[in-house]
Each structure stands twice: as structure tokens, then as C-alpha cells.
Structure 1
């Protein structure tokens, strides 16, 4: 860590603090996550899911883990730095993003998710705070809750920020997959097009209630497994017919509404995969061409690559991260607990580096909780952002000529579904 100068603490989360830092030798700005837990062996460091998964990711739209350092039994993760996260851009705007901007960002994210899912991982915590932006480039970050698709269930039921949490997770399913990432993308796209969260529930039950008011209550034909999950949780879905998403996202194209509708399907098996989403008419004419600078600082990854990425990696790769076997041998058996010298795992050199965004509320900017997350396992409710109003609330306030409310069931906002017991 002597090579880095810590400039400013930018976040304090459950598992660590995040610092903006500068490499003294190169002047490069990086983001360093200092873990709060002690790590007494190198194997414990490289066994972390966040570290293991990012070592297998080689994609211009996935945040780059540049270096892993263990010093005095403290673990430091050095990431590339980017300008801001998507939520920071959203909260400072008065007008929604244009559809072209949403298309550009979504196209990049779906490519990152396809890369991730093909390598056997799903993120589980997609939200605007975990999407980093620099100019026209967006990257998926914060892999603290990442899970392998081949992992044995049961999985944790409390994952991701509540507003972007898939219904199967809300109903405490112990077995789920990459479809939870696709649901989150649907809600994020809708929010980008309106600057209003699609399902801002204040609790798990309220979250399900708000989903029902928008897409309608599930049935045996639309999601039989979900009804079984609800029955097991002693939860009864409120009866709502739902409303057309085009009513809530009036300025979106038919293609955008169509894709969001598919992504926000009750049944996980009916949601498109990331690769299938890229083939949707919403992305017609889009060409994925990662910047040369990204390809130049990429490192070879494990597993199968797309032809374009494989070609870029062969031509521009500057080195590979060591395998776990080689890394673990860097510290001798007798070094356990000793603090005489730091153990450093260096990644690919060169290029700018990225700021890990707030995986837990307040981890980066300390601005407080937003919608609940994996830390709310006790079921507490967080206050909503006072400056943001839900789309369902907006719908309840919309009127047409004659003063009639548009497609809004009585008590849409104030009714609350029974608590999940």
C-alpha cells in the first residue's frame, strides 16, 4: 500500500470502507476498498466470491479489479476509477434520459451480463448505484453478492436492493438464477426513462403489492410456481388487473415498452436471457464495439469469449492474473498471521481505474438507505427519498378529460398487502 496515497474516504459500508486514492508512481486515480474483516491467509483472500468472479471477468463493461493486496492481515481491493454512478446522474436531472441514452447504456449492460452469465455467475444486486459511468461508457460493479449458477441451493432470500428485487426472491424462493438480474434490468430501464422508480416498496409485502398494481396479479397460467411460493409464505396476492406500461412510460417507444414488459415477467422462465435481450428490436441497428483503450488494457479470462472480445484480447492483452494455485503459493505456510511483508497480487497494468459503487446503502457517498438491500434481513423498512414519487403514485394522480382517473384501482397507493409471515 506504500505505492498508493489515500485521498478521501468516499464510503463506509458493512464490509469495508472505500477510498479515492492515487498511485504515487503513475499518478493514476483508483478506488480502494479496505475490508473490515481480518484475513490471516492469502487463500482466504482469493477465495472471496468478489475476487474469484472478477478474476474470470474480462469485459469492457465490467469494472476492473486491478490489484489485491494483503498487508498486516488487512485486505485491500484496488479497482479502476470512474466518474460517477448512474443514480448520481439520475438524481441531478430534471428531465428523463433520452431513449438513445437508455439504449446505449442498456446495450452495454446486457453485454456485460451475457459475459457474466456465460461464465457461470449472476450479480444479484443490480441497481443504478452499482452501474458506473464515464462519458458514454457504463460498467457493472460491486460483485459482493455475486453467486455461481452451479452453486447448490438454498440461496439467500434477502439479496439486492428491494426496489429492484425479483418477485421470486421477495417470496423467499431458495432456488433462483440469472433471471433475477433480468428483472432488475427491466426496472432500471423504466426508471431511466421516467426518473421515477417502478416498484418503490417500503417492505417486502408492499413491494409485491406495488408490482401487482402495475403488471397485474399472477395467475396459474402466468406463474403457477409463484402461487405455490406465496402459499408457503402464507401470503395472498392482492387482486389487480394491472395497467399498460405505456401509460406509465408515455414517451417510450413500443420496442422499449415491449422489452421492459418481457423483463418484468412474473415467471422467471419467461424473462429473456441477456443474450436474447440483445436480439430484441429495441436494439435493432446497435453494434457492440468496445473502445480500443478498453481492449488494450483487458486481460485474458477463463472460459469462452465472444469472437470480437477474443480477437481484442489476443491482440491487446498485456498480461494475465495468476491462478489461485500460483497465488496461494506466494505466501509460505509459516507466514500465517505474520505482518512482516505485504502480499500483493497485481493485475493488468495501464489504463484508468473504477470506483466501486455503493453495494450497500451509503457505501460510497453516505447518503443513507435507498430502498433496502441485503442488509435488511431483519425486515426493517427504510424511508423513501422524499424527492421521488413512484410510478404507481403518479398513475393514481393522472387524470383525463372529465376528471376520471386513468386505469387506477381504488386505493392503489394506500392499500397494503398482508405481511409475509
Structure 2
């Protein structure tokens, strides 16, 4: 760690602190995440979920972990440095809407990153604007500490994902879920980019389900019978859709994509690779249906120079 000079602290939370630093040997600016938990062995550090997940990822739309340093039981993650997160970008707009071109450009990159992550057998579980790091036209997925492997089969906790971006199956207590929860979160984030306010700003788990019901209506028995049973068990009463009235002036393609992503039934949400083929992204790099996952990801254009900032916002549970 004596190779780095700390410039300033960027944020702190229950996990530890994140600082902006410079490598005195190369002059490179980096972000260093110092964990509060102390570790006795290098093996225990390498088995941390965030480390294992990041080591499995290699994509321009996913934050790069450059080094892991352990000194005196203290663990430091050295990341590439970036300027700001998507929450800050939206906050700085001061109610000036983003253009569809801007939303398209950012979301396409995020879905590319998710396609890579899901194809590698992981899902994020905590997508929110604060975990999407932006610089100008570029954006990256960050904070993979809550990520899980798709093929792991324990009963997953429902205390994941900031509530406003939490999928209905999690809110209704389903112990088994997977990559579709990331797609749900992206529907809320994409809508928020258009309207500059949260789409489902629930104050509790029950209120979150109520907010979702108010926006997209109740699922029918044919659409999601399992969800209706979960809702019945928790005494939730669901409502009728007003979704189309919330985003006037938005293109039909954008509305269609967001609507499909926030389907009640997880199995009916498009995958990340299917989303990249949606007409909304027609003007971006187009993933041909004949391409398989690896071909599509290898053919994808790489964004240019990246910069970033990391901001801590506690998970609402």
C-alpha cells in the first residue's frame, strides 16, 4: 500500500471506506476500497464473493478490479478510478430530462455488461443507480459484493437490492430467484432515467408491492399464478395498470421494452441478450439473432476511456 498516495475519501459505509488515490510509480489514479473486516489468511480473502465474482468477469462495462492487497490483516481492493455514479448524474440534471439517445447509449452498455455476467453464471442482485458508474457517455456496473452464482441453490435472502429496485418475487418472499431480478431492476432504472424520479418509491416491502401494482397492475392467474399465491399468503391486494400515463412523450419502443422488463412473471422478462436485440437499441450495435452469446460479446464494441466515482448509499430493507 505504500505505493499509493491517498488523495481524498470518496465514501464510507458498513463495509469500510473508498478513497481516491494515485499510484506513485505509474501516476495512475485509482479507487481503493478498504474493508473494515480484518482477515487472517490470503485464502479467506480470495474466497470473498466480490473477489471471486470480479475475477470471473472481463468486460468493458464491468468495473475492473486491478489489485487485491492484504497488509496486517487489512484488505484493500484497487479499482480503476471513475468520476461519478448514475445517481449523481441524474441529481445534477435538475429536472432536465435525458434524451432517448442518452438513455439508449447508457442502457445498452449496462445490458452488454449484464449479458456477460449472466453468461458467466452470475447475477448482480443489487443493481441501482449508485452501483452504475458513469463518465460522459460511458457507464460500468460496479459493487458486485451481493452477486451470486446462478447455479448455486441455497435459499436466497430477501434482503438484497435497494427496495425501489427489488423484484416482486423477492418482495413476496420467494427463496429462489436468478438473473431476472437484474432485469427487473433495470426496468426501474431505465424508467427513472426518463422521468428523473423513482418508478416504484415504496416506503416498506408492502408499500413497494402496492406501488408496483399501481403502476403495472395486478398479474393475471395465467400470467403468474405462483405470484398470486405468494401475494395471497401475504394478504397483498393488487391493482390495475397506469403505466402508460407515467411517461408521456416516450417512444413506443422504449415503453415496450420497459414494460416487458417489469413483467410480474420472472420467466417472461427478456434476458439481457434478448434485450440487446430489442428495436429500442436498433441504432446501437445490433446483436444478430444468429450469433451465440460468446460471438455477440466478442463482437461488441469496447467503450473508450473510463473514469468514475463511488458513492455509498445504504440498502433499504
| Shared fold (TM-score, shorter chain, > 0.5) | yes
Q: Contact conserved, 1:34 with 1:75, CA < 8 A, in 2?
A: yes
Q: Distance in 1 between matches of 2:300 and 2:106?
A: 23
Which residue matches 1:246? 244
Q: Distance in 1 between matches of 2:86 and 2:64?
A: 17
Is 1:227 the equivalent of 2:216? no
Q: Distance in 1 between matches of 2:300 and 2:97?
A: 37
Which residue matches 2:167? 166
Which residue matches 1:296? none
Which residue matches 1:44? 44
Which residue matches 1:123? 124
Q: Distance in 2 between matches of 1:214 and 1:231?
A: 19
Cα 1:288/1:11, change in 2 over 3 Å: farther
Which residue matches 2:290? none
Structure 1 residue runs of 5 or longer lacking an equivalent are: 290-303, 314-350, 362-371, 377-421
Q: Contact conserved, 2:84 with 2:310, CA < 8 A, in 1?
A: no
Post-superposition offset of 1:287:
1.2
Which residue matches 1:406? none
TM-score by length of 2: 0.93
Post-superposition offset of 1:44:
0.6
Is 1:70 the equivalent of 2:70? yes
Which residue matches 1:180? 181
1:326-359 per-residue CA deviation (whole Å, 9 max, x = no partner) reads xxxxxxxxxxxxxxxxxxxxxxxxx86654443x
TM-score by length of 1: 0.70
Which residue matches 1:399? none
Q: Contact conserved, 1:142 with 1:356, CA < 8 A, in 2?
A: no
Alignment of structure 1 residues 337-356 onto 2, 5 Å:
354-356=308-310
Post-superposition offset of 1:242:
1.2
1:182-239 per-residue CA deviation (whole Å, 9 max, x = no partner) reads 000001110001101100000000000011111112231221111222234x32223x
Cα 1:230/1:92, change in 2 over 3 Å: same
By relative contact order (CA 8 Å, sep 6+), the higher-ranking structure is: 1
Q: Distance in 2 between matches of 1:46 and 1:276?
A: 33
Q: Distance in 2 between matches of 1:205 and 1:183?
A: 17
The aligned length equals 309
1:73-126 per-residue CA deviation (whole Å, 9 max, x = no partner) reads 100001111110011010111211100000000110000000000000000011
Partner SS, residue 10 of structure 2: strand
Aligned-residue Cα RMSD (Å) equals: 2.0
Which residue matches 1:83? 83
Q: Distance in 2 between matches of 1:172 and 1:69?
A: 38
Partner SS, residue 223 of structure 2: helix
Post-superposition offset of 1:312:
9.1
Q: Distance in 1 between matches of 2:296 and 2:176?
A: 32
Which residue matches 1:386? none
Which residue matches 1:394? none
1:161-183 per-residue CA deviation (whole Å, 9 max, x = no partner) reads 00000000011110000000000
Post-superposition offset of 1:9:
1.3
1:273-296 per-residue CA deviation (whole Å, 9 max, x = no partner) reads 00000111111131179xxxxxxx
Post-superposition offset of 1:29:
1.1
Q: Contact conserved, 1:30 with 1:355, CA < 8 A, in 2?
A: no
Q: Which has more radius of gyration?
A: 1
Q: Contact conserved, 2:84 with 2:308, CA < 8 A, in 1?
A: no
Which residue matches 1:287? 285
Which residue matches 1:274? 272
Alignment of structure 1 residues 262-411 onto 2, 5 Å:
262-287=260-285, 305-306=294-295, 309=298, 354-358=308-312, 360-361=313-314, 372-373=315-316, 376=317
Cα 1:250/1:64, change in 2 over 3 Å: same
Which residue matches 1:213? 214
Which residue matches 2:9? 9
Partner SS, residue 140 of structure 2: strand
